[in-house]
Structure 1
Amino acid sequence: MQPAHDAPAHEAPAHDVLIVGAGFGGMGAAIAFKRLGIDNIAILEREDDLGGTWHVNHYPGLAVDIASVTYSYSFEPNPNWSRLFAPGPELKRYAHHVADKYDLKRHMEFQTTVDGAEWDDTARLWRVRTGDGTERTARYLVTATGFLSQPHVPDFPGIKNFQGTILHTAAWQDGFDFTGKKVAVIGTGATAVQLIPEIAERADALTVFQRTPIWVVPKIDFAIPSPVQQLFRRIPLTQRAARLVNTSLLEMLMVFGVLHFKQFKPGNKLAAGLGKAHLRSQVPDPELRRKLTPDYDFGCKRPTFSNTYFPSFTRPNVTLETSGIARLEADGILAGDGTKTEIDTLVLATGFNLWDVNFPAFEIIGREGRDLGKFWREGRFQAYEGVAVPKFPNFISLNSPYSYSGLSYFTTIEGQMKHITRLFGELRRRGRDTFEVTEAANADFLDEATRRLQSSVFYNGDCTTSRSYYFNQHGEATLLRPASTLRTLREMDSFPLSDYAFR
């Protein structure tokens, strides 16, 4: 790389750091930079408020699927959760609390869409194009657009002919009343598990179109009494202890049941047995149980918790349809077996598009014209430590291949905050302003991640029918970081600084 004393004169960027996304990931990155004394930060958000998925999603029944004591920043515990599994609006309030406490809102610009970004190697800065046709410049670019930010709307035959109401869970119509409606829900993922019981209680008729059943285990949920909340406030150590217990349980499920499936198959089978026992206790009809039982191994796709999902299918007004969708008509859906279901309301719980449009969420061009989207799709999805890519200087990608650690997204966020702190501390120590991960370090990390994953359920189990978003279009499970929480946090805080080149 060019020596610092021979470097060309810099064009002064508008921002030291430009972060795309005002969800928990983007806010965590901003906190890390502000702790480093970097304050010239812009946080661009396409929505009209902060919170990411907890702003976009507001369908009935929305709640965390990880206990609230764990689904939060460890350095900013919230003693006021109303339930062990807090409802969505509380997560939104928590996001605002964090933004206020850490003085993040003055950096945020809402309803600002980023269309593309390109690295200028002469000026050593990023040129970022926004939807209004203007260009921003920044020394460092951070993408925090989330894993679940691009809703997936399948192009079902005839969907344009449907004359009724269509709702997508990520574009919900608040106040919509299902009373007396004939409803169809397409999808049985984690979102549908929360939503279906809510609709079943109100609709005149509900038909659920299931392509792939989901593993569901009991949800040990309860209101957190006021005395416990007061205890958390007065003695924070008690809440940290609750977090440790919950994290440990999740860790055992993830590490032993999913990542080390080859070595601990009995643990995986035990988890599957718990799911089957839960189903058996709530659904007496053996044929209905058969339809609701996954035929892939536990962990191939993200399991979820619920005590109300299975009983919904035993209600007289609810029908489970598993023969597929032939086409939509003006007043209903024709199933694969020729059965027509008349409906007036269609709910799309069809999830998000990760691998086709979300990695990355907009065009990013690095050194020598490397297009990040093409690089990943034409080659292999890869990112050093889940945050950096060769030929993309001064670029941190928070939602990247091999970045998701554990079952709580906050594990991922806090690991990445550690990485940012260590990297930028070294950048400052050396008196440099440009970093780039080396090709060799990236290749070594990719090889190691691939090797570790060979023991996982994704490659040793039977995931053939899971249709899991963990797998990309190449058939590789490249979303999860194959390491325990403790190992991840340790590695993110101690990676070899020689893995980066500085100039």
Structure 2
Amino acid sequence: MSAQLFDVVIVGAGFGGMGAAIELKKLGYDNIVVLEREDDLGGTWHVNRYPGLAVDIPSTTYSYWFEPNPHWSRLFATGSELKGYAEHVADKYDVRRHMRFNTTVEGARWDEESQRWQVGLADGSTLSARYLITATGFLSQPHTPDIPGIDSFAGKVVHTTAWDDSHDFNHRRVGLIGTGATAVQLIPELAKTVDDLTVYQRTPIWVAPKLDFGISPAVQRLFARVPLAQRAVRYVTDGLLGFMTFVGILNFPYFRRLSIGAMDLCKIHRFISIRDKDLRAKLTPSYDIGCKRPSWSNDYYRTFNKKHVHLETAGIDHIEPDGIVTLDGRKSAIDTLVLATGFDMWEANFPAIEIVGRGGRNLGKWWRENRFQAYQGVSIPAFPNFLSLASPYAFCGLSFFNTMEYQMRHMGRLFSELKRRDATTFEVTEAANTRFLDDMTKRLDRSVFYAGNCTGSRSYYFNPSGEATLLRPTTVRNAVREGSRFPLEDYAIS
């Protein structure tokens, strides 16, 4: 059976994959297929639906620049609203018809003879594409902790990425593992219904007060009728987030006092919320703010004041059929285990599928043996006609849409040049890739990751070799500018 032929195969139907499809369609490509392993579009906003789910970036910034949404109900919109926004974008820009759901990609291999990518699917079929774009996201591979006895637990196990709406949490005795951004949203909601909640914390998180408020229908109508009004608000939220990134993450040594001030704000918030000195100490991080993603909440700390909510920091030794045993031998009986344990960022996500390029180069193996790297966060030498949107140095600023916007510009410049030259093949040069890697490495020296105290943060920003290669250590303005103006000579185009 011959493979189906496409101009472009895009893996992933979240905001990244949709953005790539929109940009390519704008350039005249229509023979596109978007492959999605889930049963609907939206990526993380389709998969995640746990109680309390909301975006932790102001909604005015967390959206495509070219498609503002005047109908956000809150400054920090709920997960269901983000899902609805994704559906609106897919329909308005006519990308839904290119999508195939319940389709798992096993891997892709570059065929030198045909100059095409052969994309293997889990059902045994193969697609052939001139261009391959992976938009699998940074948070797409759920992590299940390797705790002795976890498979023996006899009660209900729920991972936050596969929330079971049919499970009744009323009057349950729940053990929750994890205190990251997801747990900060979920814990206050669970505490409202369960009889007993024990939170198992490995690493405390910096939590600042959340300035959230509803956006009235009148303001929504104003945004819809006068788009410039919403643009003005976006300039403010973009500017604030850009300022926080510039001073707190990218240039830590020069603005250390501001970072200390941010940590003091979190400490004051914690002091006002919790009067128990020992409990406050357990919830206090030992690393600098910014080493791992902080969070916002007005009720996370206060939840631990409730008599039926307990914070456990002794560490888990093992799990038994009816409870969790800590390293000091104490056991808490539970009937429901909630895993707010995040994602396998580096182990299973870089790359999310097996990619084999020119000369048999395996991307995952090459990254681990030669440092994690990608020119402008999208291209890798020896991988022709391939763009990886979830790559080292790709994530820019604090909003994923910042990343997507500059990558769309990069795609637009690159594919426009292909059309101008009537060319079919591109590949980033080794020299350009090395130059970009050296620049990123140098810039990281003044970031909080290297100049601050990140010991004990257990941050997913760091790869297994200890390098902070997730974030692009530049401003959003720099990324957008380079996405629009990078030297075309950095690619070998034929």
Per mean C-alpha deviation after superposition, the further-off stretch among 11-20 and 112-121 is: 11-20
Cα deviation 1:144-183 (Å, max 9, x = unaligned): 0000000000121111221110000001101432111000
Q: Does 1:412 align with 2:403?
A: yes
Task: Provide the rounded CA distance (Å) in 1 between the counterparts of 2:272 and 2:66.
Answer: 40
The one-letter amino acid of 2:344's match is N
Query: Residue 379 of structure 2: which of 384, 388, 391 is its match?
Result: 388
1:408-487 counterparts in 2 under 5 A? 408-487=399-478
Aligned to 2:13: 22
Q: Does 1:291 align with 2:282?
A: yes
> Are the counterparts in 1 of residues 4 and 126 from structure 2 also a CA contact under 8 Å?
no
The one-letter amino acid of 1:235's match is V
> Are the counterparts in 1 of residues 379 and 428 from structure 2 also a CA contact under 8 Å?
yes
Q: TM-score, normalised by structure 1?
A: 0.97
> Are the counterparts in 1 of residues 249 and 448 from structure 2 also a CA contact under 8 Å?
yes
Task: Provide the rounded CA distance (Å) in 2 between the counterparts of 1:90 and 1:12.
Answer: 38
> Are the counterparts in 2 of residues 66 and 407 from structure 1 also a CA contact under 8 Å?
yes
Aligned to 2:113: 122
Query: Residue 486 of structure 2: which of 495, 499, 503 is its match?
Result: 495
Cα deviation 1:338-360 (Å, max 9, x = unaligned): 11100000000000001111011
Q: TM-score, normalised by structure 2?
A: 0.99
The one-letter amino acid of 1:118's match is R
1:24-423 counterparts in 2 under 5 A? 24-423=15-414
Q: What is the percentage of aligned positions where both structures have the same residue?
A: 62
Cα deviation 1:165-207 (Å, max 9, x = unaligned): 0000001101432111000100000000000001111110000
The one-letter amino acid of 2:410's match is H
The one-letter amino acid of 1:286's match is K
Per mean C-alpha deviation after superposition, the further-off stretch among 79-88 and 172-181 is: 172-181
Task: Provide the rounded CA distance (Å) in 1 between the counterparts of 2:483 and 2:101.
Answer: 31
SS of 2:252's equivalent?
Answer: coil
Task: Provide the rounded CA distance (Å) in 2 between the counterparts of 1:177 and 1:259.
Answer: 44
Task: Provide the rounded CA distance (Å) in 2 between the counterparts of 1:364 and 1:12.
Answer: 18
Task: Provide the rounded CA distance (Å) in 2 between the counterparts of 1:492 and 1:466.
Answer: 32
Cα deviation 1:220-249 (Å, max 9, x = unaligned): 111111110010001000101111101111
SS of 1:15's equivalent?
Answer: strand
Task: Provide the rounded CA distance (Å) in 1 between the counterparts of 2:434 and 2:34.
Answer: 31
SS of 2:164's equivalent?
Answer: coil
Task: Provide the rounded CA distance (Å) in 1 between the counterparts of 2:271 and 2:62.
Answer: 30
Pair 314,374 (structure 1): closer, same or farther in 2 beyond 3 Å: same
Task: Provide the rounded CA distance (Å) in 1 between the counterparts of 2:50 and 2:201.
Answer: 19
Q: How big is the shift at 1:336?
A: 1.4
Q: How big is the shift at 1:378?
A: 1.7
> Are the counterparts in 1 of residues 271 and 280 from structure 2 also a CA contact under 8 Å?
yes
Per mean C-alpha deviation after superposition, the further-off stretch among 184-193 and 277-286 is: 277-286
Task: Provide the rounded CA distance (Å) in 1 between the counterparts of 2:151 and 2:361.
Answer: 38
SS of 2:355's equivalent?
Answer: strand
Could you list the structure 1 runs, at least 4 aligned residues long, displaced by more than 2 angstroms after superposition: none
Alignment coverage as a number of residue pairs:
493
SS of 1:346's equivalent?
Answer: strand
The one-letter amino acid of 1:351's match is G
Task: Provide the rounded CA distance (Å) in 1 between the counterparts of 2:466 and 2:140.
Answer: 22
Cα deviation 1:472-491 (Å, max 9, x = unaligned): 00000000001111111111
Q: How big is the shift at 1:13?
A: 6.9
> Are the counterparts in 1 of residues 39 and 101 from structure 2 also a CA contact under 8 Å?
yes
SS of 1:334's equivalent?
Answer: strand
Cα deviation 1:239-280 (Å, max 9, x = unaligned): 011111011111111110111102211111111111111111
> Are the counterparts in 2 of residues 13 and 125 from structure 1 also a CA contact under 8 Å?
no
> Are the counterparts in 1 of residues 3 and 125 from structure 2 also a CA contact under 8 Å?
no
